[in-house]
Structure 1
Amino acid sequence: MDKMSALTMFVATAEQGNFSRAADLLGKTPSALTKAVAQLEEELGTRLFDRTTRRMALTEAGRIYLEGARQALMQLQLATEDVEQLQHELRGDLRITAPPSFAPAFLNRVCCRFLTAHPQVKLEVDLSDNFEDPVDGGYDLALRDGPIDLPGVIAQPVVENQMLLCASPAYLARKGEDVSLDNYQQHDWLIFRHPLLNRHFWWVKQGEQRIRLTQPTPRVASDNYDFLLACLLDGQGLQFIPQWSAAPYLARGELVELMPQYWREPSAFGPWIYVLYLAHRRNTRKVKVFIDYLKAHWQEHQA
């Protein structure tokens, strides 16, 4: 019996709790599973299960071996998938999580372009401002501009998280284009509220000069970015927004950048948007191709 077949039978037995149920699951006979486990135990020189007439339970060695066996079978499955996809179209499921604000800014277009090019792939995209751990959530990819220090997760930067001060032409026609560090508090402000963000001041830089600005009293404050963006486009005030969000509106003239000689220091969200994925998925072709689509999008729009 080959090693991988024996490992499959051992894992099924451990997960089902007895040979009969595991045999039914795999379409094998109980004696075949008993033989496979006995073969592994002989090879290892130790028992993997404690067996009685009423029950069987993993030994300490069995628990350790089960984790390794699961990892080995998963790696084989991933390698098989990668080899198949080298010879055929991309296929299967790809699960992604990202903040809702990423969708209209760029993720919609990237996903649609990816789907058009790879019709055999099914996407599941969960949009939430709550941080979804790619490990616990079972995601192939996560896009984040917040804390990224997660064990076993690779974080690859894809675009800078540069902040721009913007207003609509309608607001500037109503309130005037004179916006400076001296009079900024006299303007109407739209301010995003988030537990990670300071509510009292901002830091901006001009060249090497670092300036602390007291946050003005907002005309509109919200914890929903898309709501504030709609208010910004409607001319309700000024707002610091990420360049990746502002870019299409600036290109169409729907927003105007103000005080470009100053730039706001990165907030607690950090200076980059990252794509996160589990270390064992780094060579999966679906993941690599989707990341390439993300990078290509930003190369096109920052050229």
Structure 2
Amino acid sequence: MDKLSALNMFVATAEHGNFSRAAEQLGKTPSALTKAVAQLEDELGARLFERTTRRMALTEAGQIYLEGARQALMQLQLASEGVEQLQHELRGGLRITAPPSFGPAFLNQVCCRYLRAHPQVHLEVELSDTYVDLVDGGYDLALRDGPIDQPGVIAQPLVENRILLCASPAYLARKGEEVNLENYQQHDWLIFRHPLLNRHFWWVMRGDQRIRLAQPTPRLASDNYDFLLACLLDGQGLQFLPQWSAAPYIARGELAEVMPEYWREPSAFGPWIYLLYLAHRRNTRKVKVFIEFLKEHWREGGGNQS
């Protein structure tokens, strides 16, 4: 068995905590991983794992060797990608994670465009609200709003996270009255529930004036953004939307901005959508090209394109 394969098997076993789960991830048999680790231990003259009938854990020697093995595998991956960059065609895999709402808003368009332009690349896109560790998850790139203080991660602003109040023309016609600060509580509201968001009030600005608004009782509340958006488009009420999500619907006349003279202060999600990547990935050509596709999408009008 070659040393590179043995190192990969050892790292996978350490990360998963047993041979069976690591073997499943690598598409190997548990006995192959057991043999690979045994060969490394024989070569080193030291045990890498303490094994019992119930669990296995790294020894002190195993912890030291794991750090070195990860570094070695990372350097080999970077060297391979450096060679790839000499080729005209991009190839290989690119792993991306982003919140689910980014998919229909813009990420699906960018990904499809990227795949058409680079047929030798395969994408793995995980849409999840969970804040994942880029290293442990093996991600090349993340798109996130909200807290971004991850150590060792570069955060690059992509697009402003401006919040608009929106409603469908059908809802506004049915209500037949203008929305203002005096009557807003009498309107039907669709409210997104999230642990980071205040449930009791909003802050809005008009010029230099900062106004605290009590949140009305929602006609419909949900922790699923896309569900609420579908109901908004169906004319069920008013909803605050980020501009990157609302723009295509406003451009097509499916939604209208309400009380445009007021703007809502950024919530706990923050004023920007960020691109997150590890420092050693900044010069990876597949990552750089994907980021350029994202930026080009917004330079061309992003969601404003009908």
Match status 1:154 vs 2:154: yes
Counterpart for residue 86 of structure 1: 86
Q: Equivalents in 1 of 2:229, 2:120: separation in Å? A: 35
Verify the 8 A CA contact 1:85 1:91 in the aligned structure 2: no
Offset, 1:9: 9.5
Structure 2 unaligned segments of length 5 or more: list them: 15-31, 48-57
Q: Equivalents in 1 of 2:181, 2:69: separation in Å? A: 62
Deviations 1:137-194 (A, max 9, x none): 2211111112111122222111111000011000010012511111111111100001
Q: Equivalents in 2 of 1:74, 1:135: separation in Å? A: 11
Q: Equivalents in 1 of 2:183, 2:5: separation in Å? A: 73
Identity among equivalent positions (%) equals 78
Counterpart for residue 219 of structure 2: 219
Root-mean-square deviation over aligned CA pairs: 3.2
**Paired positions, count:** 276
Verify the 8 A CA contact 1:140 1:277 in the aligned structure 2: yes
Q: Equivalents in 1 of 2:114, 2:66: separation in Å? A: 37
Verify the 8 A CA contact 1:165 1:257 in the aligned structure 2: yes
Counterpart for residue 270 of structure 1: 270
Offset, 1:62: 7.5
Verify the 8 A CA contact 1:49 1:59 in the aligned structure 2: no
Alpha carbons of structure 1 residues 114 and 177: separation in structure 2 relative to 1, 3 Å: farther
Q: Equivalents in 1 of 2:200, 2:108: separation in Å? A: 34
Offset, 1:61: 7.1
Instruction: Give the match's secondary structure for 1:77.
Output: helix
Deviations 1:190-231 (A, max 9, x none): 000011100000000111111100001111101110111011
User: TM-score with structure 2 length normalisation?
Assistant: 0.80
Q: Which AA in structure 1 matches 2:249?
A: Y
Verify the 8 A CA contact 1:75 1:280 in the aligned structure 2: no
Deviations 1:18-72 (A, max 9, x none): xxx89x86xxxx8xx99xx7xxxxxxxxxx6448xxxxxx996785465235314
Which protein is bigger by CA-based radius of gyration?
A: 1
Q: Map 1:221-240 to 2 at 5 A.
A: 221-240=221-240
Alpha carbons of structure 1 residues 182 and 113: separation in structure 2 relative to 1, 3 Å: same
Verify the 8 A CA contact 1:167 1:232 in the aligned structure 2: yes
Offset, 1:14: 7.0
Match status 1:187 vs 2:193: no
Instruction: Give the match's secondary structure for 2:109.
Output: helix
Q: Map 1:28-43 to 2 at 5 A.
A: none
Structure 1 unaligned segments of length 5 or more: list them: 1-5, 38-47, 52-57
